[in-house]
Chains A and B, each alone.
Chain A
């Protein structure tokens, strides 16, 4: 029954154009390192994001992940070549302060941002601006740390992450997750999920309840069937020859060692 879902509905199409190659570079990113929290802002060379949107992302990430950070963990802001004025720095610091995270360091390659940060009393590290050509990520780079979110991904929210994404909550219709690695939804998957977005066909999408608007793995696309199944099981989507296939999670662990899992008719 579950196999019908995939083979009948899998419609390989050309991939939408808007999927960028460097997927994480357009959103803010947190990284824990040696007891400190690094906050990366998207560089201006990739996508020009509205300041309001950026601040909303920051608030969403903070409320979705705050269980994992000790209060009063010092934060390093890696703003790269993004220009921040004193007011914007203050807004970032205020937002972090609401999550009880003190902003201590500012790393920037822009002189004006450096001046603003120094005036506001933050520790400062100014690097020389890099040429866009040289700052391009080298090919074959490793995936980033998994992103763990404890929040429903609601309509209008798009999570992009250059690694695996784990969501404790539902992915609602209208919401989207684009990950370079796997996507695990501990809840209902009703929106758009794109695993292996930079081209890795071996990535998988897992959900307790698969009712997706659309599933994508690398350059493969699948829609949900027109008539939803009567019963739902935890399921896993993966690419087999010819498209995206969905199998029940209980079958998956049995077939984990096999490269191409064969589905028994008993499902």
Chain B
């Protein structure tokens, strides 16, 4: 039985789908069999990020209605044979599926895969309830903004009420230069509010946008981008490896900022 992990955030646009695609790809490259489930029924786009849009024939709904078998709906990744995607239906809304059906699908996938990652939709309504129904673990994705953190906090509360206790935090789109001059919440500020163990920090990087538009997850590129490296590190931490956090401040370090950090009292 594989691990079932939901990737969720509450707020939209903080990078749930990007994280799901990259972590799925990174885990598959580590030799694990990974299934990704697009939990965003009605507004699917995980297939776009993976560049698999034109290979989708059946969706989760057809599986549930018995029109096809589960392995027919699963889209194998074109680059990485260990990675498969179960697409969501584009033409229906989020009420087209219920939590019990989602559980059934997820458990079937978990039998044959090491990881099942569920990309949750934004919000806390039915689509979210579906996405978390079968999950045993959760990754909370948030950006260092008060609105995103507030929503993430709400979602953590809901996950805890659903007895999902294994929750880890991914801080996305951090800009170390802005944090240094106190114009952005630091990772520590985010952690203070959420009190959830940190599993990764992803710096803001325009190459994420490029990779999204190309349908090529960033972890595949070998150009040494920090964001891609950060995703690969999260995958290794999920595997239980102890990996040092990236020193994101390094690029902005001068003697002056180092001194200031030394003297500014840690709160």
Q: Which residues from chain A contact B195 at a C-beta distance below 8 Å?
A: 152, 170
> Looking across the interface, which residue of chain B has its beta carbon closest to that of A156?
B154
> Looking across the interface, which residue of chain B has its beta carbon closest to that of A151?
B160
Q: Is A129 on the interface with B (CB-CB < 8 A)?
A: no
> Looking across the interface, which residue of chain A has its beta carbon closest to that of B153?
A155
A155 to B159, CA, bound (A): 13
Q: Given A59-B161, A60-B161 in contact, is the A173-B154 Cβ separation under 8 Å? A: no
CB distance A56 to B161 under 8 Å? yes
> Looking across the interface, which residue of chain B has its beta carbon closest to that of A154?
B157
**Which residue, of A56, A59, A154, A174, has the highest number of chain B Cβ atoms within 10 A?**
A154
CB distance A155 to B151 under 8 Å? yes
> Looking across the interface, which residue of chain B has its beta carbon closest to that of A169?
B195
> Looking across the interface, which residue of chain A has its beta carbon closest to that of B146?
A173
> Looking across the interface, which residue of chain B has its beta carbon closest to that of A64?
B160
CB distance B161 to A155 under 8 Å? no
* Distance in Å: Cβ of B165 to nearest Cβ of chain A: 9
> Interface size on A (CB < 8 Å)?
17
CB distance B163 to A174 under 8 Å? no
CB distance B150 to A155 under 8 Å? yes
Q: Which residues from chain B contact A157 at a C-beta distance below 8 Å?
A: 157
Which positions 141-160 of chain A face chain B at CB distance < 8 Å? 151-152, 154-157
Q: Is B156 on the interface with A (CB-CB < 8 A)?
A: yes
CB distance A63 to B153 under 8 Å? no
CB distance A172 to B153 under 8 Å? yes
Q: Which residues from chain B contact A172 at a C-beta distance below 8 Å?
A: 153, 193
Digit string of A178-191 for contact with B (CB within 8 Å is 1, else 0)?
A: 00000000001010
A63 to B162, CA, bound (A): 10
Q: Is A98 on the interface with B (CB-CB < 8 A)?
A: yes
> Looking across the interface, which residue of chain B has its beta carbon closest to that of A190?
B193
* Distance in Å: Cβ of B129 to nearest Cβ of chain A: 9
Q: Is B210 on the interface with A (CB-CB < 8 A)?
A: no
Q: Given A56-B158, A172-B193, A173-B193 in contact, is the A98-B163 Cβ separation under 8 Å? A: yes
Q: Which residues from chain B contact A59 at a C-beta distance below 8 Å?
A: 161-163
Q: Which residues from chain A contact B161 at a C-beta distance below 8 Å?
A: 56, 59-60, 63
A45 to B195, CA, bound (A): 38
Digit string of B101-117 for contact with A (CB within 8 Å is 1, else 0)?
A: 00000000000000000
A63 to B154, CA, bound (A): 16
Q: Which residues from chain B contact A98 at a C-beta distance below 8 Å?
A: 163
Q: Which residues from chain A contact B158 at a C-beta distance below 8 Å?
A: 56, 156
Which positions 139-194 of chain B face chain A at CB distance < 8 Å? 146, 150-151, 153-154, 156-158, 160-163, 192-193
Q: Which residues from chain B contact A174 at a C-beta distance below 8 Å?
A: 150, 153-154
> Looking across the interface, which residue of chain B has its beta carbon closest to that of A59?
B161
A174 to B151, CA, bound (A): 9
A33 to B156, CA, bound (A): 33
Q: Which residues from chain A contact B193 at a C-beta distance below 8 Å?
A: 170, 172-173, 190
CB distance A60 to B157 under 8 Å? yes
Digit string of A188-218 for contact with B (CB within 8 Å is 1, else 0)?
A: 1010000000000000000000000000000
Q: Which residues from chain B contact A63 at a C-beta distance below 8 Å?
A: 160-161
CB distance B150 to A173 under 8 Å? yes
* Distance in Å: Cβ of A149 to nearest Cβ of chain B: 12
Digit string of A55-82 for contact with B (CB within 8 Å is 1, else 0)?
A: 0100110010000000000000000000
Q: Which residues from chain B contact A56 at a C-beta distance below 8 Å?
A: 158, 161
- Listed by A's residue number, 19 A-B pairs whose Cβ atoms lie within 8 Å are A56-B158, A60-B160, A63-B160, A151-B160, A152-B195, A154-B154, A154-B157, A155-B151, A155-B153, A156-B153, A156-B157, A156-B158, A170-B193, A170-B195, A172-B153, A173-B146, A173-B150, A173-B153, A174-B150
Interface residues of B (CB under 8 A from A): 146, 150-151, 153-154, 156-158, 160-163, 192-193, 195
Known: A60-B157, A60-B161. 11 other contacts (CB 8 A): A56-B158, A60-B160, A63-B161, A98-B163, A155-B151, A155-B154, A155-B157, A173-B153, A173-B193, A174-B150, A174-B154
